Amino acid sequence: MAGAFSSEPAGAKASGLELGLKEACCYTDWRALLVGEAARPDGMQVVAIVTPNHLHHSPAKTALATGFHVICDKPLAFTLAEARDLAAMVGGKRPALLPDA
């Protein structure tokens, strides 16, 4: 497990350590999290986006582009254009556990 748990760098590290994560897995922001975990042989495979609603698009798009699976706090995006952009990135694929709509 890894994370960037606050928009304040010191708070992000402290929160991760308080949750019992290794220091190397406590990142100061979401960009560092994605870069750092992509470089690790034991890095994360999925990221949960729980930023404020208007900030979901960039981290979700970057995570998808980096090869991570994404779980996004609702709403998926702040605008329909952002949601369509993310949908286009996954090519309309649905997780195997979800039935076709």
Distance CA 15, CA 31 (A): 17
Burial (0-12, 13-18, 19+ Cβ within 10 Å), 85: middle
Q: Are 6 and 12 in contact (CB under 8 A)?
A: yes
Tens of pLDDT along 52-82?
A: 889 999 999 999 999 999 998 888 888 999 9
pTM, entire model: 0.81
Q: Are 3 and 16 in contact (CB under 8 A)?
A: yes
Instruction: Look at residue 94 in the predicted model and tell me its pLDDT.
Output: 59
Indicate the CATH number of 45-96 among 3.40.50.720, 3.40.30.10, 3.40.640.10, 3.40.1010.10. 3.40.50.720
Instruction: Look at residue 95 in the predicted model and tell me its pLDDT.
Output: 55
Domain boundaries, the chain: 1-44, 45-96
Q: Are 25 and 16 in contact (CB under 8 A)?
A: yes
Instruction: Look at residue 15 in the predicted model and tell me its pLDDT.
Output: 93
